[in-house]
Amino acid sequence: MAARPTPAELAGAEGRFVPDVLAPGLRVLFCGINPGLWSAAVGHHFARPGNRFWKALHLGGLTPRLLAPDEEGELLALGLGITNLVERATAGAAELAAGELRAGGARLAAKAAAARPGWWPCSGSAPTGPPSPAPGRRSAPSPTRSAGPPPGCSPTPAASTPTTSSPTWPRRSRTCAGRWAERGALRDRDRPGAAGRAARR
Protein backbone atom coordinates (compact mmCIF):
# COMPACT_ATOMS: atom_id res chain seq x y z
CA MET A 1 0.00 0.00 0.00
CA ALA A 2 1.21 3.50 -0.85
CA ALA A 3 2.72 5.54 1.99
CA ARG A 4 0.60 8.25 3.60
CA PRO A 5 1.38 11.56 1.86
CA THR A 6 2.59 14.51 3.90
CA PRO A 7 0.71 17.83 3.95
CA ALA A 8 3.35 19.25 1.62
CA GLU A 9 2.90 16.36 -0.80
CA LEU A 10 -0.88 16.84 -0.76
CA ALA A 11 -0.47 20.54 -1.52
CA GLY A 12 1.96 19.71 -4.33
CA ALA A 13 -0.50 17.24 -5.89
CA GLU A 14 -2.81 20.04 -7.06
CA GLY A 15 -3.20 19.76 -10.84
CA ARG A 16 -1.55 16.35 -11.19
CA PHE A 17 -3.05 13.50 -13.22
CA VAL A 18 -3.68 9.89 -12.22
CA PRO A 19 -3.18 7.49 -15.17
CA ASP A 20 -6.25 5.72 -16.49
CA VAL A 21 -6.74 2.01 -15.88
CA LEU A 22 -8.00 1.37 -19.40
CA ALA A 23 -7.99 -1.25 -22.14
CA PRO A 24 -10.28 -2.07 -25.09
CA GLY A 25 -13.36 -4.21 -24.51
CA LEU A 26 -13.81 -3.76 -20.76
CA ARG A 27 -17.02 -4.97 -19.14
CA VAL A 28 -17.25 -1.84 -16.99
CA LEU A 29 -15.34 1.45 -17.14
CA PHE A 30 -15.85 3.42 -13.93
CA CYS A 31 -15.65 7.18 -14.28
CA GLY A 32 -14.84 9.49 -11.38
CA ILE A 33 -15.33 13.24 -11.60
CA ASN A 34 -11.64 14.07 -11.05
CA PRO A 35 -8.82 12.85 -8.79
CA GLY A 36 -8.59 14.13 -5.25
CA LEU A 37 -5.31 15.39 -3.87
CA TRP A 38 -4.62 12.18 -1.94
CA SER A 39 -5.08 10.02 -5.05
CA ALA A 40 -2.91 12.36 -7.10
CA ALA A 41 -0.19 12.38 -4.44
CA VAL A 42 0.08 8.58 -4.36
CA GLY A 43 -0.73 8.03 -8.05
CA HIS A 44 -3.71 5.68 -7.60
CA HIS A 45 -7.46 6.06 -8.02
CA PHE A 46 -9.84 6.32 -5.04
CA ALA A 47 -6.86 6.09 -2.70
CA ARG A 48 -7.90 8.28 0.22
CA PRO A 49 -8.41 6.21 3.39
CA GLY A 50 -12.10 5.66 3.99
CA ASN A 51 -13.02 5.84 0.31
CA ARG A 52 -15.35 2.89 -0.25
CA PHE A 53 -14.97 2.37 -3.99
CA TRP A 54 -12.76 -0.70 -3.58
CA LYS A 55 -15.01 -2.13 -0.90
CA ALA A 56 -18.04 -1.63 -3.15
CA LEU A 57 -16.37 -3.59 -5.96
CA HIS A 58 -15.65 -6.48 -3.61
CA LEU A 59 -19.05 -6.47 -1.88
CA GLY A 60 -20.68 -6.35 -5.30
CA GLY A 61 -18.80 -9.45 -6.43
CA LEU A 62 -16.80 -7.69 -9.13
CA THR A 63 -13.44 -8.48 -7.49
CA PRO A 64 -12.61 -11.81 -5.81
CA ARG A 65 -11.01 -10.01 -2.87
CA LEU A 66 -10.72 -6.50 -1.51
CA LEU A 67 -8.08 -4.75 -3.62
CA ALA A 68 -5.93 -1.89 -2.41
CA PRO A 69 -5.66 1.23 -4.59
CA ASP A 70 -2.09 0.33 -5.61
CA GLU A 71 -3.44 -2.98 -6.97
CA GLU A 72 -5.67 -1.19 -9.46
CA GLY A 73 -3.83 -2.78 -12.41
CA GLU A 74 -5.43 -6.10 -11.49
CA LEU A 75 -8.80 -4.72 -12.56
CA LEU A 76 -7.98 -5.10 -16.25
CA ALA A 77 -7.86 -8.90 -16.03
CA LEU A 78 -11.35 -8.74 -14.50
CA GLY A 79 -12.69 -6.61 -17.35
CA LEU A 80 -12.83 -3.45 -15.24
CA GLY A 81 -11.22 -0.04 -15.66
CA ILE A 82 -11.14 3.47 -14.19
CA THR A 83 -10.98 6.92 -15.75
CA ASN A 84 -12.00 10.46 -14.80
CA LEU A 85 -14.20 13.11 -16.34
CA VAL A 86 -11.56 15.77 -15.62
CA GLU A 87 -7.94 14.68 -15.37
CA ARG A 88 -6.45 17.32 -13.08
CA ALA A 89 -6.55 16.81 -9.33
CA THR A 90 -8.23 19.28 -7.00
CA ALA A 91 -9.25 19.35 -3.34
CA GLY A 92 -12.88 19.02 -4.44
CA ALA A 93 -15.02 18.79 -7.57
CA ALA A 94 -16.51 22.21 -6.83
CA GLU A 95 -13.17 23.73 -7.89
CA LEU A 96 -13.68 22.57 -11.47
CA ALA A 97 -14.83 25.11 -14.05
CA ALA A 98 -17.84 24.46 -16.26
CA GLY A 99 -15.58 24.53 -19.31
CA GLU A 100 -13.41 21.78 -17.83
CA LEU A 101 -16.44 19.60 -17.27
CA ARG A 102 -17.69 20.13 -20.82
CA ALA A 103 -14.26 19.35 -22.27
CA GLY A 104 -14.04 16.33 -20.00
CA GLY A 105 -17.36 15.05 -21.28
CA ALA A 106 -16.09 15.18 -24.87
CA ARG A 107 -12.84 13.47 -23.85
CA LEU A 108 -14.72 10.76 -21.95
CA ALA A 109 -17.02 10.15 -24.91
CA ALA A 110 -13.97 9.71 -27.15
CA LYS A 111 -12.41 7.26 -24.68
CA ALA A 112 -15.61 5.24 -24.51
CA ALA A 113 -15.97 5.20 -28.30
CA ALA A 114 -12.40 3.91 -28.66
CA ALA A 115 -12.38 1.41 -25.79
CA ARG A 116 -16.05 0.37 -26.17
CA PRO A 117 -16.74 -0.73 -22.60
CA GLY A 118 -19.95 -2.60 -21.99
CA TRP A 119 -21.04 -0.07 -19.35
CA TRP A 120 -19.54 3.13 -17.97
CA PRO A 121 -21.18 4.38 -14.78
CA CYS A 122 -20.07 7.59 -13.09
CA SER A 123 -19.21 7.80 -9.40
CA GLY A 124 -19.54 11.09 -7.57
CA SER A 125 -21.29 14.29 -8.51
CA ALA A 126 -20.43 17.49 -10.33
CA PRO A 127 -22.19 20.87 -10.51
CA THR A 128 -23.25 20.46 -14.15
CA GLY A 129 -24.15 16.75 -14.10
CA PRO A 130 -22.69 13.81 -16.01
CA PRO A 131 -21.17 13.98 -19.50
CA SER A 132 -22.99 13.19 -22.69
CA PRO A 133 -22.69 9.66 -24.14
CA ALA A 134 -20.55 8.82 -27.11
CA PRO A 135 -22.37 8.85 -30.46
CA GLY A 136 -24.33 5.67 -30.97
CA ARG A 137 -23.99 4.59 -27.33
CA ARG A 138 -26.98 3.88 -25.13
CA SER A 139 -27.23 4.41 -21.43
CA ALA A 140 -29.86 3.41 -18.91
CA PRO A 141 -32.32 6.03 -17.63
CA SER A 142 -31.14 7.82 -14.51
CA PRO A 143 -33.27 9.27 -11.73
CA THR A 144 -32.29 12.78 -12.84
CA ARG A 145 -33.09 12.08 -16.50
CA SER A 146 -29.61 13.34 -17.44
CA ALA A 147 -27.93 12.16 -20.62
CA GLY A 148 -24.95 9.86 -20.36
CA PRO A 149 -23.90 7.23 -17.84
CA PRO A 150 -26.43 7.00 -15.01
CA PRO A 151 -25.01 8.68 -11.89
CA GLY A 152 -27.70 7.15 -9.70
CA CYS A 153 -26.50 3.61 -10.42
CA SER A 154 -23.09 4.08 -8.84
CA PRO A 155 -23.19 4.90 -5.11
CA THR A 156 -20.66 7.63 -4.43
CA PRO A 157 -17.75 6.02 -2.57
CA ALA A 158 -16.78 8.89 -0.28
CA ALA A 159 -16.91 7.79 3.35
CA SER A 160 -18.42 11.05 4.58
CA THR A 161 -21.57 10.97 2.45
CA PRO A 162 -25.00 9.82 3.67
CA THR A 163 -25.06 7.28 0.83
CA THR A 164 -22.08 5.32 2.12
CA SER A 165 -22.92 5.82 5.77
CA SER A 166 -26.29 4.12 5.29
CA PRO A 167 -26.61 0.49 6.46
CA THR A 168 -28.16 -0.31 3.06
CA TRP A 169 -25.01 0.81 1.19
CA PRO A 170 -23.46 -2.70 0.81
CA ARG A 171 -26.73 -4.09 -0.54
CA ARG A 172 -27.09 -1.19 -2.97
CA SER A 173 -23.50 -1.72 -4.10
CA ARG A 174 -24.22 -5.39 -4.81
CA THR A 175 -27.35 -4.44 -6.76
CA CYS A 176 -25.49 -1.92 -8.89
CA ALA A 177 -22.61 -4.34 -9.43
CA GLY A 178 -25.06 -6.95 -10.65
CA ARG A 179 -26.43 -4.50 -13.18
CA TRP A 180 -22.92 -3.56 -14.37
CA ALA A 181 -21.94 -7.23 -14.73
CA GLU A 182 -25.17 -8.09 -16.53
CA ARG A 183 -24.73 -5.29 -19.02
CA GLY A 184 -21.13 -6.28 -19.62
CA ALA A 185 -22.16 -9.90 -20.21
CA LEU A 186 -24.85 -8.85 -22.65
CA ARG A 187 -22.36 -6.67 -24.48
CA ASP A 188 -19.90 -9.58 -24.73
CA ARG A 189 -22.64 -11.84 -26.03
CA ASP A 190 -23.51 -9.44 -28.84
CA ARG A 191 -19.93 -9.05 -30.11
CA PRO A 192 -18.92 -10.84 -33.33
CA GLY A 193 -17.32 -14.17 -32.52
CA ALA A 194 -18.58 -14.14 -28.94
CA ALA A 195 -20.19 -17.58 -29.29
CA GLY A 196 -16.90 -19.11 -30.36
CA ARG A 197 -15.05 -17.49 -27.48
CA ALA A 198 -17.65 -18.73 -25.00
CA ALA A 199 -17.25 -22.28 -26.25
CA ARG A 200 -13.50 -22.14 -25.63
CA ARG A 201 -13.84 -20.92 -22.00
Could you tell me the maximum CA-CA distance found in the chain, to the nearest angstrom?
Answer: 54
How far is 171 from 26, CA to CA, in rounded Å?
Answer: 24
Please report, for residues 22, 92, 108, 110, 128, the alpha-carbon distance to residue 95 in angstroms, rounded to integers and kept in the order given.
26, 6, 19, 24, 12
**Neighbour-count burial for 160-172, b at 16+ CB within 10 Å, e otherwise:** eeeebeeeebbeb
Of 44, 45, 51, 84, catalytic: 45
Of 34, 44, 51, 84, catalytic: 34
Residues with Cβ within 8 Å of 56's Cβ and at least 6 positions away in sequence, in order, are 155, 157, 169, 170, 173, 176, 177
- Exposure on the CB side of residue 123, measured as CA atoms within 13 A: 31
45 is catalytic: yes
Return the active site residues. Answer: 34, 45
